[in-house]
Structure 1
Amino acid sequence: MKNIEAVFLDRDGTIGGDSTIHYPGEFKLFPYSASEINRLKKSRIQLFSFTNQPGISKGVATIDDFQRELTGFGFDDVYICPHHPHEGCPCRKPDIGMLSEAQKDHNLNLENCVVIGDRWTDMLAAAKAGCIKILVRTGAGEVSLRDHHHEMEKLSIDYIAEDLPDAVHWLMQN
């Protein structure tokens, strides 16, 4: 694997759950996600979660709830956008605020980082930041491919994976 500095994993639909939001305490990892997270960590790659969670702004959960859950899964750091889509904040995907914050916090070259997610907004954020882009078909992946086909073509996604194990396998081989 060439000089990969970090992998950013989306939460809902990528490592567990489905295409909807499940709050901490209700969220379940896919059966293979823990082993794939450990596989990446054994490769000494920094592993970050980055996730839009507008329920925080509605008071349904807290940032601390999500941070505890995600660090418990093994992430080195967690980046969360708590804002509603209509607030127009720069941290909400498809903007690159969370990626830029991680870049500053961990002295990263984003061109040497990978984003794995199930939505076109994950891929758009990755493209804007110059990251390697891997879309998984789990969660909203199939819907993203169908409904955003033309946008996806323009993004030049590096790999479309069946699921997280396929994405990690491809990453380790390339």
Structure 2
Amino acid sequence: MLDWQAVFIDRDGTIGGTGHFIHPRDFVLYQGAQESIKSLKKAGLKVFAFTNQTRISRGEATEEEFISQFKIYGFDDFFICPHGKNEGCNCRKPSPGMLFAAAEKYGLDLSRCVVIGDVGDTDMLAAHYAGAKKVLVRTGRGEGSLNINRDKWKEIEPDLIASDINEAVKWILERNS
């Protein structure tokens, strides 16, 4: 058994929504997602939001709106890339910059952390580059990541392919000592 330190969870398509941008005021969590986040925290794990949000750079939403949402959901901290695809930042997934920032801030060993996300060529690649465990959920863009877009991350295998956030969290908790 492992002793996990933290879980990084993508937003769109992983805890709710469709896999595409939905403004925080209109975003709806999947059934059981809130309870799953609470279960991780109750087990003593840090739980971090980990999301690309290009709409911030376009002025369609603010970082504060996302932070408020993540606080309501009970996340311990929030790692949000607000940049557009061509801005050349080091935080936008698939870059592991947000994971490295969290590791530095919280003294984490990323090999003892898990990333849960629905997109193989962003979430899973970022986790792989950082040395974290990888859990792909089939919600949101997950099915497409496994089928239509699998060629974009074909060298990487998730540690688990879960039906949803709830199955992912159950797997994590079963492996936590």
Q: If the TM-score is normalised by the length of the shorter chain, which range does it land in?
A: over 0.9
Give the match for residue 148 of structure 2.
147
Which runs of 4 or more aligned residues in structure 1 lie more than 6 Å from their structure 2 counterparts after TM superposition? none
Give the match for residue 44 of structure 2.
44
Letter in 2 for 1:158: D
Given the alignment of the two structures, is residue 158 of structure 1 paired with residue 159 of structure 2, yes or no? yes
Given the alignment of the two structures, is residue 94 of structure 1 paired with residue 94 of structure 2, yes or no? yes
Q: Number of paired residues?
A: 174
Alignment of 1:1-174 (within 5 A): 2-120=2-120, 121-174=122-175
Q: For 1:169 and 1:47, how far apart are their aligned partners in 2? A: 14
Residue aligned with 1:85, SS: coil
Q: What TM-score do the two structures reach when normalised by structure 1?
A: 0.96
* Deviation of the 1:88 alpha carbon: 1.9
* Deviation of the 1:23 alpha carbon: 1.1
User: What's the C-alpha RMSD, in Å, of the aligned pairs?
Assistant: 1.1
Q: What TM-score do the two structures reach when normalised by structure 2?
A: 0.95
Residue aligned with 1:160, SS: strand
Q: For 2:25 and 2:94, how far apart are their aligned partners in 1? A: 26
Deviations 1:84-140 (A, max 9, x none): 111121100000111011011111001100000000110000000000000000000
Q: Which runs of 5+ in 2 are unaligned?
A: none
Q: Give me the identity figure in percent.
A: 47
Q: For 2:77 and 2:130, how far apart are their aligned partners in 1? A: 18
Q: For 2:154 and 2:133, how far apart are their aligned partners in 1? A: 15
Q: For 2:141 and 2:92, how far apart are their aligned partners in 1? A: 17
Q: For 1:60 and 1:150, how far apart are their aligned partners in 2? A: 31
Letter in 1 for 2:84: H
Q: Which runs of 5+ in 1 are unaligned?
A: none
